[in-house]
Amino acid sequence: MNRLFLALVLPASLLLSGCPDSSTGIDDQGASVSDFDWHMPDWVPLPVEPDYNPITEAKFQLGRYLFYDTDLSSDGSMSCESCHQQDKAFTDGVARPTGVTGMIHPRNSQSIANAAWVRTLTWGNPTLTDIEQQIVIPLFGIDPVEMGVNEANQDLVLSRLQRKTEYQTLFAEAFPDQSDPMYDEQAWQNIIHALASFVRGMTSFGSNYDLYTAGQSDALSTSAKRGMNLFNSEKLECFHCHEGYTLTASVRDRRRTPNIPAPFFNTGLYNIDGISAYPEPNTGKHELTGKTSDMGLFRPQSLRNIALTAPYNHDGSTATLREVILNYAAGGRNITSGPNTGDGRMNINKDPFIVSFTITEQEIEDVVAFLESLTDYEFINNPRYANPWQPPKDQDLTP
């Protein structure tokens, strides 16, 4: 049969002798090239780096020392780690953290894993896109005060750092083009650039879910697989806002030129007095834009390591993943008593994907199992991201 076929067809191919050859030339303009070892799988697109602060290992290492240094706060009591602890995927386990002066931050500490990939950096701010811009907020902010550095004490804080021998070489290696990177007027900028480099270099793409998508079918339990299908179903609609390799729609990388506004959504958590209000000052995007249509709009979080970052939502007002799922299942949160009384399900800004659905306890367990499969134990145990001022812990957090 095949011979007959070839006998019939091959002579026809003589009709086409001498045609030119095809090719598709592809030029990604260097988007997949980086001198820095990001310690992540090669399928992950490289993140955007600002031209003024290209990441280097030396800046990353300096940033790591600074990140864990309590001398970087006004009274020496707090470091970045105070609110961003490795074993909790760089969150702190409390609803709302407290700064050096005792002021309680209105919002929940976020995981900073993969911060280099988010489109906007904080819960409700549509304009904060560079980690370098964000870092000055906890350092120098006054509403709320976090690390408490201010004009009056910044020289003192700097002098505490200058006294540490570790920094002499770390600064020199991180900023080799500067003659005196720790002492001249650029010192604070250098601190910020180094901290930003450490945060930018924190990559977490090693969960069981990643193993599963790479083809290791038994990396997920049957329950997690059922949960994954629910997650991706039109019933739960989770995947619309928690999509892609970062598991959030708020994503940017070197391959993307965002052509739509950064995503912020209202999930129907509040509806104070029935006028769709969220409790001050946590009004989300509205806090900056002042538009009523932006009331209660917050950035969709990456769900990577989500099982480690309780409590949840922008103000830490939801204790467990189960409660988060139940809020979504109800199509919002109905608060029946207290100062925030109101039916969030009726919030006028609520995203259309937040529709109620019925879900069984087994299904909730399955979705939670899927969310737990997004935990990257390698990341939270990686000495690369651990406190350099202490000897490594002999603690294995793998269950």
Please identify, among the stretches 46-54, 159-167, 335-343, 350-358, the one whose residues bind another protein according to the rule CB under 8 A: 46-54
Binders of another protein among residues 119 to 148 (CB under 8 A) are: 122, 125-130, 132-134, 136-137, 139-143
Choice from 85, 150, 334, 341 touching another protein (CB under 8 A): 150
Cβ-in-10-Å burial (0-12, 13-18, 19+) of 290 comes to exposed
Asked if 291 is part of the footprint of another protein (rule: CB under 8 A), the reply reads yes
**Candidate list 34, 38, 50, 341; residue touching another protein; CB under 8 A:** 50
Q: Which residues of 153-166 are buried (b: 16+ CB within 10 A; e: fewer)?
A: eeeebbebbeeeee
Which range binds another protein by CB under 8 A, 49-57, 58-66, 219-227, 298-306?
49-57
DSSP string covering 307-322? GGS-SBSTTS-B-SHH
Taking the least distance from each CB to another protein, the nearer of 251 and 386 is 251
The verdict on whether omega for the bond into residue 144 sits within 30 degrees of 0, i.e. cis, is yes
Give 6: exposed, middle or buried? Use CB within 10 Å, 0-12, 13-18, 19+: exposed
Residues 168-207, mask of contacts with another protein (x by CB under 8 A): -----------------x-xxx--x---------------
Candidates 163, 166, 222, 256; binder of another protein (CB under 8 A) is 256
Q: Is 41 in the site for another protein (CB under 8 A)?
A: no
Q: Shortest approach of another protein to residue 370 CB, angstroms?
A: 15
Sign of the C-alpha dihedral computed for residues 280, 285, 288 and 289 taken in this order: negative
Smallest distance, another protein to C-beta of residue 176, A:
19
CB atoms within 10 A of CB 185: 7
Give the interface segment with another protein, choosing from 48-56, 109-117, 303-311, 342-350 (CB under 8 A).
Answer: 48-56
CA distance 90 to 80: 9
Please count the residues of this chain forming the interface with another protein, following the rule CB under 8 A: 76
Is residue 271 within 8 Å of residue 342, measured between CB atoms? yes
Pick 24 or 360: Cβ nearer another protein: 24
Binding of another protein by 20 (CB under 8 A): yes
Site for another protein in 51-70 (CB under 8 A): 51-53
- Residues between 260 and 289 that touch another protein (CB under 8 A): 260, 280-281, 287-289
Q: Of 83, 170, 251, 306, which lies in the binding site for another protein, with binding defined by CB under 8 A?
A: 251
Give me the least distance between CB of 40 and another protein, in Å please. Answer: 17
Do residues 228 and 370 touch, judged by C-beta distance below 8 A?
yes
Of the candidate residues 3, 16, 42, 394, the single one contacting another protein (CB under 8 A)? 16
Q: Are 350 and 267 in contact (CB under 8 A)?
A: yes
What is the gyration radius of the CA atoms in the chain, in angstroms? 25
Helix, strand or coil, per DSSP, at residue 63:
helix
Which residue lies nearer to another protein by CB, 86 or 340?
Answer: 340
- Give the C-alpha distances (Å, rounded to integers) separating 207 from 4, 244, 384: 54, 14, 17
Residues 6+ apart with CB under 8 A from 2: none
Which residue stretch of 2-10, 219-227, 316-324, 363-371 sits at the interface with another protein (rule: CB under 8 A)?
A: 2-10
Of 62, 80, 149, 241, which one interacts with another protein (CB under 8 A)? 149
Phi/psi region, residue 144 (left: phi>0; alpha: psi -120 to 50; beta: rest), is: beta
